[in-house]
A and B are shown apart, each in its own frame.
Chain A
Amino acid sequence: MVPEADTAADAALLGDLRGVVGDRARDNDFERGLYSRDGSIEGSLPAIVCLPETAAEVAEIVGVCRRHSRPFLARGSGTGLAGGAVPVGRPVVVATAKMDRIIEVDVDNRVAWVEPGVLNLDLSRALTPLGFHFAPDPSSQQVCSLGGNIANNSGGPHCLAYGVTTAHIAALEVVLPSGETTMLGGVDAEPPGLDLRGLFVGSEGTMGIATKAAVRLTPNAPSVRTLLLDFDDVSEGSAAVSAIIAAGLVPSALEMMDQRAIEIVEAFAHAGYPTEAAAVLLVELDGLPGGVSAGVEIIREVAEQYHAGHVRVAADDAERALLWKGRKNAFGAVARIKPDYYLHDTVVPRSRLTEVLDQVYRIADAYDLIAVNVFHAGDGNLHPILAFDRREPGVDERVKAAGRDIVAASIAAGGVLSGEHGIGLEKRDYMGMLFSAHDMYTQDLVRETFDPDGFANPLKVIPSGSRCSDSFHQHVPEGAWV
């Protein structure tokens, strides 16, 4: 571990990495700066950035890092929102963006073998002519990589019906922190032994680097309808969410946006979102045509019952795409109000959505911040966005304090820390709000089985006081560590 800059050690490390990837190992200030951040608001300079093109190179890079006792960290498209790809502790960044081949599409087994740098939407586009897609569709779908999806066990609007990433990964080739390459899981229905694949998915890069994955192919639904419901009152909107589920429907997506979100999204997408509404629900149904039509009628009834203003049913694929374009660009579009945003990701019981939303607005007011809400209402996955301008003095502290209060409010309502963005750096120090010291100790033991020396994406996820901690001031919750 080299928390402070050590020029001689860096130079020796660079020499060995150049031996593996040549001029694709970079140590210039500019590029180290570019890889110091992801989509979150954290940042920290890596020692060296490597851009491997093959799994063999990844394994060799990890081997070199081991010999130099230097931590490493995998990075995909760098769109993560919890700081999971922020290089803490002067590690080597292993950026997998150049590993973007779809190796094989195996329709018989309904899997595709892909490299980690393949972009989520690129995969679904490539599968379209075959009648399949990759079901998890994070809002950053057009840019996020499958490696990143695997690391974070990413969700997305359509995971309500189809399940999150782990349900769609059959097998993984991974480079372990020891430098060895191994295969976890398998394309067979029930691979023997422990489900180590399931353990790896969502481990946020702390158990090694995935270099190849067999992802499951989901058949495209024969019929899809997308509806937009608007409400004068946020609480009626959230009540409608519960009513739709209670009516026995599982829409493929059930999204909610509040008024501020509607305004900024409409300014970008020009999709005809009703900017005067207090909230909208974006509901998508898919399946066989008869079932979808019946579902549309149920939603119309719920809409009436909860006083929705209009029920707009997208007429064609173009209109559907336009509505989704708005929803999926909501976070970036926040820059239309303020240049920075802090996006939270908590899950609360659906029945308590209204109450927690109220608290979110109150917390933002108390810290003099602007809150925008765009979220996966169907599974109670809140995404409160705090918009701010980091050039204002003292704003960082207010944003972080408000974020912490929002997390606390969600947990108090029976919720959890993260729905899909991961813990990363951002929520590491909040782990103690949800887990006991014993819980965290046990989690760390599992991690230690894969990575006894703490080389893989150090200082993330678990607030460990025992190692790698000197370079980063962390706040271990009182009594969290034994």
Chain B
Amino acid sequence: MSPVAQTSTSAGTFALQLEIDSDTLASCVACGMCLPHCPTYRVTGEESASPRGRIALMRDVAERGEADAAFVEFMDACIQCRGCETACPAGVQYGHMMEVTREALASQTHYQPRLRRLAYRALGMPRLLGAGSRLLALAQRLGVLGAARLLSRIGRFRSLGTAVGALPRVPLRQRRLVPSGNDVWLFTGCVMDAWMRDTHRAVQSVIEATGAGVALPPPRAACCGSLHTHAGLGTDARRLARRVIAALPGDAPILVDSAGCGAAMKEYGHLLGTPEAHRFAERVHDVHEWLAARVDLLPAGAPIALDIGGPVTGGPVTGDAAQRPRVAVQDPCHLRHVQQAHLPVRAVLDRYVDVVELDDDGLCCGAGGAYSQQHPDIANAVRERKVAAIERSGAGVVASANPGCSLHLRAAGLDARHPLEIVAEHLSGDGGAGV
């Protein structure tokens, strides 16, 4: 199986204006240090699936003003994890180059088909998303998703059908979150609020345990636009960003418990280029960053073991250490490589559990927002490496501060939880309950 295109012909070319300035394109010296940190290169061993290769292709297309289907496929196969940026000795801004490329493709070609554009747009409509999610939940329970498999056989619905068939189990009913003050905003987002509100509930309880009151955003702040940026739908992304900024006024810090959303919101300044957007971005924090600075305010952990269904051994059995469960930390790429905020997760978790590091240099897990739905073959091959690293660690539970990564890892049978769900269990004394 080869996930990248095999041939292109000169007949199939089309015009493409790629507006990346030549200094930016020239900033890559092709040293190759990014290759081992690129998940798609790791599983394919192909230059066309590497950051160095993709930049060379962008340079080529920018110079020639035309591209072909192979180029689209090579660009589309990037997970946009930005692990290459952390590894790059030259500080090449690969992520932004890829965003410009995707936006050029989306605005000048049929890169994003109409159905998919509509699906992205629905993310910014909480009521529609909620209703759709309930319908999906119902369909999942009634077992009618066989229809999706049928859909996936019809050419133009193939990607939609495959995506729907691969979705995680969605809750039928969710309790409302109740605001408790105005000290901080807790950003709730789109899909995460529709499918994983209990994670927000756990996060809120941990924030409140520090004595802070939590404000909840109005429906207008329903979606950060990160998936839109990654899909090249820049106009939609900028519209959503402006909406979020307008919906969260004041000076209160904005805490985000989804690494992907947090990374996107911290880049609003770059996305919109206005002073207001830059000021807003300054207020955005990953919730672990904010908590790590206040970790002393959190109650000490009760010496109880999580029901982790795996070995709790690994150290001398003395005192509390024997009781502390071992939790592997999976760093979401947009927390580690974009926000550089992966260490605070450890600072918070370390108070309650034995943090176990993975030995894979923070390589992507393959989730990539909507990527795992759109490129299941590569996403699963990438995930196999992560699953192997987690198994080598010997930890029974893996903490992931991004909902997309959690879902992707759970689909491989792992016990993946949000770090603050683990903390919340300790705070409530409910350490044995599991998720």
Contacts and interface: CB of A to CB of B under 8 A. Distances in A.
B36 A332 contact: no
B60 A30 contact: yes
B7 to A, nearest CB: 5
Given A23-B2, A30-B8, A339 B26 contact: yes
A329 B45 contact: no
28 contacts: A26-B6, A28-B6, A30-B8, A30-B48, A30-B71, A31-B47, A33-B57, A34-B57, A37-B56, A39-B32, A77-B32, A78-B32, A100-B45, A117-B45, A122-B36, A140-B32, A143-B35, A143-B36, A268-B91, A329-B89, A332-B90, A333-B90, A334-B29, A335-B27, A335-B29, A336-B90, A339-B29, A391-B26
B89 A335 contact: yes
B30 interface: yes
3 tightest CB-CB pairs across the interface, nearest first?
A335-B90, A332-B89, A97-B45
A54 interface: no
A24 interface: yes
B30 to A, nearest CB: 6
A142 interface: yes
A124 to B, nearest CB: 12
Contacts of B60: 30, 33
A431 interface: no
Interface string A329-346: 111111110011100000
Q: How large is the interface on A (under 10, 10 to 19, 20 to 34, 35 or more residues)?
A: 35 or more
Contacts of B32: 39, 77-79, 140, 143
B89 A331 contact: yes
Contacts of B31: 39, 79, 140, 331-332
A119 interface: yes
Given A26-B7, A34-B57, A330 B47 contact: no
Contacts of A26: 6-7
A142 B36 contact: yes
Interface string B44-63: 11111000010011001000
B33 interface: yes
Interface in B67-111: 68, 70-71, 74, 87-92
A121 interface: yes
Interface in A315-352: 329-336, 339-341
B22 interface: yes
B377 interface: no
A360 B10 CA distance: 47
A95 B8 contact: no
A95 B8 CA distance: 20
B90 A95 contact: no
A134 to B, nearest CB: 15
A475 interface: no
Given A39-B30, A77-B32, A143-B35, A30 B57 contact: yes
A35 interface: yes
B359 interface: yes
B326 to A, nearest CB: 17
B28 interface: yes
A109 B56 CA distance: 44
Given A34-B48, A121-B36, 11 more contacts: A28-B70, A30-B70, A34-B47, A34-B57, A37-B30, A97-B46, A142-B33, A329-B33, A330-B89, A332-B29, A339-B23
A211 to B, nearest CB: 15
A23 B29 contact: no
B91 A35 contact: no
Interface in B1-49: 2, 5-8, 10, 22-23, 26-33, 35-36, 44-48
A419 B92 CA distance: 30
A330 B90 CA distance: 9
Most chain B CB within a 10 A radius of its CB, from A30, A37, A78, A125? A30
A355 interface: no
A100 B56 CA distance: 24
Interface in A262-283: 267-268
A125 B389 CA distance: 12
Nearest to B6: A23
Interface of A: 23-24, 26-31, 33-35, 37, 39, 51, 77-79, 95, 97-98, 100, 117, 119, 121-122, 125, 140, 142-143, 267-268, 329-336, 339-341, 389, 391
Most chain A CB within a 10 A radius of its CB, from B8, B36, B56, B87? B36
A127 B57 CA distance: 36
B53 A34 contact: yes
A223 to B, nearest CB: 23
A336 B22 contact: no
Given A122-B36, A332-B33, A332-B90, A28 B45 contact: no
Contacts of A77: 32, 35
Contacts of A143: 32-33, 35-36
Nearest to B54: A34
Most chain B CB within a 10 A radius of its CB, from A39, A51, A339? A339
Nearest to B31: A332
Nearest to B392: A129
Contacts of B71: 30
Given A30-B60, A30-B74, A78 B91 contact: no
A29 B22 CA distance: 21
Contacts of B23: 339
Contacts of A27: 7
A213 B133 CA distance: 54
B175 to A, nearest CB: 44
Contacts of B47: 31, 34-35, 78, 95
B94 to A, nearest CB: 13
A117 B29 CA distance: 22
Contacts of A336: 90-91
Contacts of B91: 267-268, 335-336
Nearest to B37: A142
Contacts of A28: 5-8, 70
Contacts of A332: 29, 31, 33, 88-90
Contacts of A340: 26, 29
B232 to A, nearest CB: 20
B62 to A, nearest CB: 14
B265 to A, nearest CB: 25
A318 to B, nearest CB: 12
A29 B44 CA distance: 19
Contacts of B87: 142
Most chain A CB within a 10 A radius of its CB, from B2, B31, B44, B87? B31
A95 B45 contact: yes
Contacts of A142: 33, 36, 87
A434 B91 CA distance: 38
Contacts of A39: 30-32
A49 to B, nearest CB: 8
Contacts of B88: 332
A51 B45 CA distance: 8
Contacts of A31: 47-48
B45 A98 contact: yes
Contacts of B74: 30
Nearest to A34: B47
Most chain A CB within a 10 A radius of its CB, from B2, B27, B29? B29
B36 A119 contact: yes
Contacts of B6: 23, 26, 28
Contacts of B5: 28
B263 to A, nearest CB: 21
Nearest to B29: A335
Nearest to A75: B47
A143 B5 CA distance: 24
A242 B393 CA distance: 44
B337 to A, nearest CB: 15
